[in-house]
Chain A
Amino acid sequence: MKALLRNRELVLALILVIGIAAIGAYQPAFLAWGNIRDMLTETSVLFMMALAQMVVILTRGIDLSVAANLALSGMMAALVSQYYPDVPLILMIATGIVTGLLLGMLNGALIAYLGIPPIVMTLGTLAIFRGMIIIIARGDQVNASEMGVAFQAFPKQVWLGLTSPVWIAIAVALLFWIFLGFTRAGRGLYAVGGNPVAARYCGIDQRRQDLLAYSISGAVSGLCGYLWVARYGVAYSEIASGYELTVIAACVIGGVSIGGGIGTVAGTLLGALFLGIVMTALPVMQISPFWQMAISGAVILAAVVINARAERRPDKLILPEARRLRRVTP
């Protein structure tokens, strides 16, 4: 039992289930399939963004430019839809992804090869990306009426009861799960974040891993940029403003350590779901949506306290009796 409680994913999942049940008991409308589907759709973008952020945080970095990247990539996709309506949808989506990837690579290249601190670099590109939106759109916004029909319809399509963003999120999560768990590069991310010196001993190139992490972060932001713009039917410079902090919050709640080397796909899913549920549950429970931010703030603080406890380094054991007490006998 104690061992089970030590598994934080399980604990978090338990809290979520109890929470959902409690809200459902109080307000059965919350458990209606339509509501749950909406909640999952809302959460899918946050989840994907949090996965990408996790990859960066694993390397002891941080990417503050993700929301600005999302907005700029979304704008690029929207502009393609506006000016080249005959281009196949897949190319419009690809525009978003490739734009995001290039922006991410810019971050990664300067961080990895010039050694610019990640927080400085991504703070700078955050401002640049947002401003670029005004420049490329000539200060205008792209409205629903200017975007293609297929462009906007895609995120609302429902297959097997779930919307396409949810299916995409499931696919992305699977890719991340395979990448992080079953590839050398993926395990290498944990290695460079967990112990950079040891990673060097093992012949892992820190700089390549950094470049990879920020590129992934960029590409996912680009994909989410398309989904965001198409779903809400508008692209302008302020979309997803401040969303980078929500994304980091989802990671922290999901147990990703800001010190690097610790984080799982499942934990991040739960972190994103937690914020997603809070967001959708409040209106259902007729609580003012203004509570949302305060609640997520309190949850972030609780999560960081719990994370710190889990990551605490063990004491030095010199006295024989202390060593005997702590010895692990497998």
Chain B
Amino acid sequence: MIVSDPILTLSGISKRFPGVRALHDVSLALKPGRVTAIIGENGAGKSTIVKILTGIYRPDEGEIRVRGEARSFASPRDAWAAGIAAIQQETVMFDELSVAENIFMGHMPTGASRLVAWPEMRERAQALLKRIDAVIPPDFKLKRLSVAQKHLVEIARALSHEAQVLIMDEPTAALSASEIDDLFRVVAQLKSEGRAIVFISHKFDEIFRIADDFICLRDGEKVGEGSIATVTQAQLVRMMVGRPVDQFFPKRDVAIGETVLTVEGLSNATEYADVSFSLRQGEILGLYGLVGAGRSEAMQGLFGITPITRGEVTLEGQKLSIAAPSDAIAAGIAYVPEDRQDQGAILSLGIRENVTLAGLTKHVKGLFLSRASEQAETRSLGRKLSVKAAHWEQRLAELSGGNQQKVVIAKWLATRPKVIVLDEPTKGIDVGSKAAVHDFIGELAGEGLAVVLITSELPEVMGLADRVIVMKEGRIVAEFKRGQWSAEAIVGAATGAGKEAA
């Protein structure tokens, strides 16, 4: 094979955020006609690389070269001008505008009068879509399209810039098997046209199917790279995690007690169906699956955030009817949401106000809130979770991600729950805090709490859980007991790839 010059190189890229080292001395070369997979756990630095490539972040150190020429991207527009385009994880597009406009927004073709040349725009949009075999009328409003079709529009948008580098950040997360096949056909075609493609995915079967090269990140550093043909899945997993999975999280020995919670046939019209499980005192139940498998949605249904259409929840023998989160809290269920910034923390309030928020009633003495009682609770939980702060009135916005997460967990412990659901509790926090959170989850179970741990990180679930249930497309598809599982079996169940392989 002819080794051609890379279209784009990153060398020595570093990026720091307050409290977190997002990237450290990462180098990367993207060659024409090759698909490079970026592999790593959540928080390893993949999305930071994407944001640097697309001009959203500027690196603190390091150099970006496009076709050998040093460039710096001050804005997304600069990155586009340099021929780099991203197909975003969450589609950043315009629902109310037409497909053609979505493709050409920011660089619409204009005629001599400087007016937008609609017929030309439509024609060119049609031609671009046709190039990737997408049958989508350019006049349709974007909101009428499926997620897969929106991805194709984004690819057409990238092609409209004559982009030479295409970044696909988990493009298959919400696609069905046949839609993924269609997408991969397009990727193969783009490859054959000599474009360089960056492919980010958690699904190993996809990586082995589509990628030529890989680089592996861990905690912001590059820990491996090479041709995908030279490695096995087990080797990649080891590279990502850094050590054999089983030793990573020392599992505490906890006496598992009586059944606390039974969930029967929990269903919602469009998000999940027939979710049934039971949970014992001191048990950690892992809830594994791909992003968008309906795990958070099902647990939010249990917690009363979204209405359920069917299902029965029994806690300590009592049948519950949960219509709102306050019902769940009163019954002794706590849910620590995945989206810390939006759903968990109230950033403009202080630590004390956050910690006591969900269980506020118990601090009411007479008519008014007792500050002393609030402070006592904040102090004891803050210390238990080793929250690092200047003082307990400090606003959450000023804390690091890990400490914010500890405060959010403290808020839920303050409600004295019997069951706690942790939704991706270590997403996007630094390694030190991560270990503390892991340790703490074990401690909670040790104190007799029943824990549901939603996580997309295999080592985390395999290290901590007593039992794992796997969800796919809104349903439970497999259940494993500790000691009877393998990484391959769990991933296989989550992706559905296992069946084909077996």
Contacts and interface: CB of A to CB of B under 8 A. Distances in A.
A250 B401 CA distance: 46
B188 interface: no
Nearest to A322: B270
A190 B271 contact: no
B473 A195 contact: no
Interface residues on B, range: 35 or more
12 contacts: A182-B116, A188-B105, A191-B94, A194-B96, A197-B92, A201-B54, A201-B92, A204-B106, A315-B271, A319-B271, A319-B273, A319-B473
B104 to A, nearest CB: 9
A317 B270 contact: yes
B435 interface: no
B143 A318 contact: no
Interface in B286-312: 292-294, 297
Contact of B97 (A191, A320, A330): A191
Contact of B94 (A182, A184, A190, A319): A190
A108 to B, nearest CB: 22
B76 to A, nearest CB: 5
Contacts of A319: 270-273, 294, 473-475
Interface SS of chain B: loop
Q: Which among A182, A190, A315 has the greatest number of chain B C-beta atoms within 10 A?
A: A182
B136 interface: yes
A161 interface: no
A318 B270 contact: yes
A203 B92 CA distance: 13
Contact of A195 (B75, B94, B108, B135): B94
A323 to B, nearest CB: 7
Given A190-B96, A198-B93, A319-B273, 4 more contacts: A198-B94, A200-B75, A317-B271, A323-B176
A318 B297 contact: yes
B137 interface: yes
Given A182-B116, A330-B136, A318 B272 contact: yes
Nearest to B115: A182
Interface string B479-491: 0000000000000
Contacts of A320: 176, 473-474
Nearest to B118: A182
Interface string B82-109: 0000000000111111000100011010
B96 A330 contact: no
Contacts of A306: none
Interface in A152-204: 178, 181-184, 187-188, 190-191, 194-195, 197-204
A195 B93 contact: yes
A241 B270 CA distance: 50
Q: Which of B94, B97, B118, B475 is packed against the most chain A CB atoms within 10 Å? A: B94
A184 B110 contact: yes
Contact of A318 (B96, B110, B294): B294
Contacts of B144: 328
Contact of A187 (B101, B137, B149): B101
Interface string A288-330: 0000000000000000000000000011111110110011101
Q: Which 3 A-B pairs have the closest CB atoms?
A: A203-B77, A202-B106, A322-B270
Contacts of B146: 323, 326-328
A261 B272 contact: no
Given A182-B118, A202-B105, A327-B146, A315 B92 contact: no
B324 interface: no
B114 interface: yes
B135 A330 contact: yes
Contacts of A187: 97, 101, 105, 108, 116
A203 B294 contact: no
Contacts of A183: 114-116
Contacts of A202: 76-77, 105-106
Given A203-B106, A328-B144, A318 B115 contact: no
A242 B408 CA distance: 47
Nearest to A178: B115
B80 interface: yes
A79 interface: no
Contacts of A253: none
